[in-house]
Amino acid sequence: MRPVLFFLLTFPLAAQQPDGARGAAIYSSQCAICHGRQGEGGRGPSLARARLRHAPSDESLMRLIRAGLPGGGMPGTWLNDFELRDVAAHVRSLGRFPRPPVAGDAARGETVYLKAGCAKCHTLRGEGGAFGPDLTGIGSRRNAGHLRASVLDPAADVPAGFVLIHADKITGARVNEDTFSVQIRDASGKLHSFWKSALTSLRKEPGKTAMPSYRGTLQGEDLDNLIAYLASQEDLP
């Protein structure tokens, strides 16, 4: 361990009060872009809630901010322990704001979800296809505005970890890849496994979507209800 880090870790943090202004400044420069200015959420989940799924205690909150959630789209930071403590205190203070209300009727949204064929590509609570990302608990990872954008304009923000691959004539989502082989799931849910040496072409398009846009297909009340349904998907206990 580097000496400076050791010093910071052993310094009695509890002896000092968090610096609220510094926490707010770090939050607006490094976190608000994904979590919203008031923690209302966006690409990242709303932080304006009393209980955070991944951060039940202040220690776990600081650890999470330092390390991020790799794979979930949350980057780590290089903040020192004082800055971590300040920004964590700011995140806790956001819990005082109520979550923005979501228009629409979640119960009726389930019908829209099934009718529109979303389950062909997405799993929700263990049921459905596996081509797109699992939507179980999606309401606690993304806010309503982001969910609406995902449905109307999927190409705008492809979730971290999703990579579209063309291997010879097969197009699909990357499931696994190493130096020698690649596994791909096509839109029908079928898994394909290839030795790279046996392929004539292998093309990756990270950031490219394989989800159709529903702009024009879903609108008005149906769209509101669908978004309310997705936003109501909290993590399974």
Nearer to ligand HEC, 141 or 194 (CB): 141
Q: How far is the CB of 103 from ligand HEC (least distance, A)?
A: 16
CA–CA separation, 62 vs 45, rounded Å? 17
Report the run of H or E that residue 106 belongs to, with start and end: helix 106-115
Our separate counts of H helices and E strands in the chain read 8, 7
CB of 194 or CB of 225, closer to ligand HEC? 225
φ, ψ of residue 182 to 5 degrees: the values are: -145, 140
Contact 98, 47 (CB under 8 A): no
CA separation (Å) from 149 to 154, 155, 223? 7, 9, 11
Beta bridge partners of 183: 176, 193
Minimum separation from the CB atom of position 174 to ligand HEC (A): 11
- Is the CB of 194 or the CB of 231 nearer to ligand HEC? 231
Between 25 and 69, name the residue whose CB sits nearer to ligand HEC: 69
Least gap, CB of 199 to ligand HEC (angstroms): 22
| Residue (30 or 179) nearer to ligand HEC, CB | 30
Token pair in block for residue 188: 């029908």
Smallest separation (angstroms) from ligand HEC to the CB of 76: 9
Least separation in angstroms between residue 105's CB and ligand HEC is 15
137-176 core/surface letters (b: 16 or more CB in 10 A; e: else): bbbbbbbbbbbbebbbebeebbbbebbbbbbeeeebbbee
Q: Which residue is nearest to ligand HEC (CB)?
A: 72
| Contact residues for ligand HEC, defined by CB under 6 A | 30-31, 33-35, 43-45, 47, 52-55, 61, 64-65, 69, 72-75, 77, 87, 91, 113, 116-118, 120-122, 131-133, 138, 140-142, 147, 150-151, 154, 158-159, 162, 173, 187, 209-212, 214, 226, 230
